[in-house]
């Protein structure tokens, strides 16, 4: 069994995965397919009232990964599933499998690798380097600046603010700033 990346309809990855699983079961080819996954990561977001939420964000929208034995029957089954575009890779008769080392980056971590059940979650920050922002809370309230660095792991943003005519980097929590 080898891994293949399949291009699918954007924003329908989960429903296409489910449809493909149903088709595999109906055709009796369960022994030729091992796993079908949509690569995701857990991300922390904050609602308007400041409540923390953990959501799943797709790493590669429009793509799913399938571990399967490739033959004419399985290739046809996958290709004829509604919403499936094609296997990724160079054009030709036979799709090329993805290296196992590359796939390991997208698989969920094993339970034994986690330290006492703690995982580091990224924070979804709606700003990027170069954005103009205004500080809406804290010591630098109402000052404007430019985003220099975004730290999703800690939910912090470094903003260059002009204080007394000098550019000064200030590290703020992402919720303390707003876009201009």
Tell me the C-alpha to C-alpha distance, in Å, between residue 58 and each of 41, 42, 64, 88, 118: 7, 9, 10, 18, 21
Q: Which CATH architecture has domain 125-179?
A: Roll (2.30)
Could you list the pLDDT tens digit for every one of the 180 residues in the chain? 899 999 999 889 999 999 999 999 999 999 999 999 888 888 877 766 667 788 888 888 899 999 999 998 998 999 899 999 888 877 666 788 888 788 777 766 554 344 444 456 677 778 889 899 998 888 888 899 999 998 877 778 899 998 888 888 999 888 888 888
Q: Which of 131, 139, 126 is nearest to 172 (CA)?
A: 139
Report strand pairing: 52-58 vs 2-8. Answer: unpaired
Largest CA distance in the chain: 73
- Domain ranges for the chain, please list them: 2-113, 125-179
Residue at token pair 């499936």: 84
Task: Note the CATH architecture for domain 2-113.
Answer: 2-Layer Sandwich (3.30)
């Amino acid at each position: 069994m080898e891994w293949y990346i399949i291009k699918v309809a954007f924003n329908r990855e989960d429903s296409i995965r489910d449809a493909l699983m149903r088709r595999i079961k109906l055709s009796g080819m369960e022994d030729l397919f091992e796993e079908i996954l949509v690569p995701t990561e857990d991300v922390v977001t904050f609602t308007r009232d400041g409540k923390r939420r953990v959501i799943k964000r797709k790493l590669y929208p429009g793509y799913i990964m399938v571990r399967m034995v490739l033959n004419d029957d399985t290739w046809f089954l996958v290709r004829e599933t509604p919403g499936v575009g094609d296997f990724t890779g160079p054009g030709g008769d036979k799709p090329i499998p993805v290296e196992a080392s590359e796939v390991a980056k997208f698989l969920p971590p094993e339970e034994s690798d986690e330290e006492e059940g703690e995982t580091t979650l990224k924070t979804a920050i709606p700003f990027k380097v170069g954005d103009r922002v205004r500080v809406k809370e804290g010591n630098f309230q109402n000052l404007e600046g430019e985003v220099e660095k975004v730290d999703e792991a800690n939910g912090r943003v470094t903003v260059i603010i002009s204080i007394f005519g000098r550019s000064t980097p200030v590290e703020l929590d992402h919720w303390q700033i707003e876009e201009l």
